[in-house]
Structure 1
Amino acid sequence: MSSEQTGTVRSTWFVRGRVQGVGFRWWTRARALEIGLVGHARNMDDGRVEVVAEGTREELDRLDALLREEVSGTARPGRVTAVGRVDQDARGDVAGFVEK
């Protein structure tokens, strides 16, 4: 089945701020698993965290709101100063959600 048939899409976020060494990847993994997403969160050499996830558009939008701290009552570790998001077609080659 294609991603269009399953309703699955892929998003990649680049999160900037004080997001390395503060539990941000662990927190992101926990939220993604609660939502039901698959993918990864990894530190980048330039200090950003890359988050790649596959799921429905609604699920990805939920993670997006959490990453941007638009959900009240959510204590996110670190300090995010900018979040960029790119949507793509799902690859379907990912299982689970891991920290890299």
Structure 2
Amino acid sequence: MTSRESIVRRRAVVTGMVQGVGFRWGAREEAHRLGVAGWARNRLDGSVEVEVEGEAGRVERMIAWLRSGPPGSAVDKVRVSEAEPDGDDAFRIRQTE
């Protein structure tokens, strides 16, 4: 990653047909490809929550990927909010909320 000044973190809640279609694993692969850190987890309401940290442009590309997701998913909406960077160094799949 680059200097701390250009590091951002975003939280996204993705709704639609996003569970049971490999969404979290696809997000992990895309995050690795883009060089961003964070995590993804299923939520009990059927959505997927994702936090992404890294250089601003890379984070925005990850958010753009979340808007379409992997093959087999059908994203209805992505709600994005800012979060405080916390120094994640990898992208992980977390347990369901």
8 Å contact kept, 1:27–1:77: no
Q: Indicate the SS of the match to 1:91.
A: coil
Contact 2:24 2:40 in 1 (8 A): yes
Q: Give the conservation status (yes or no) of the 8 Å contact 2:26–2:70.
A: no
Q: Which amino acid aligns with 2:91?
A: F
Point out where structure 2 has 5 or more consecutive residues left out of the alignment.
none
Establish whether residue 26 from structure 1 lines up as the match of residue 25 from structure 2: yes
- Aligned-pair CA distance for 1:75: 5.0
Q: Percent identity?
A: 39
Aligned to 2:72: 77
TM-score for both structures, normalised by structure 1: 0.83
User: Alpha-carbon deviation of 1:88?
Assistant: 2.5
Q: C-alpha root-mean-square deviation of aligned residues, in Å?
A: 1.7
Q: Partner letter of residue 95 of structure 1? A: D
Q: How does 1:16-95 map to 2 (within 5 A)?
A: 16-69=15-68, 76-92=71-87, 94-95=88-89
SS at match of 2:44: coil
| Count of residue pairs the alignment pairs up | 92
Counterpart secondary structure, 1:95: coil
- In the alignment, structure 1 segments of 5+ residues that lack a partner are none
Compared with structure 1, are the counterparts of its residues 76 and 61 closer, same or farther at alpha carbon in structure 2 (3 Å cutoff)? Answer: farther
Asked if 1:9 is matched to 2:4, the reply is no
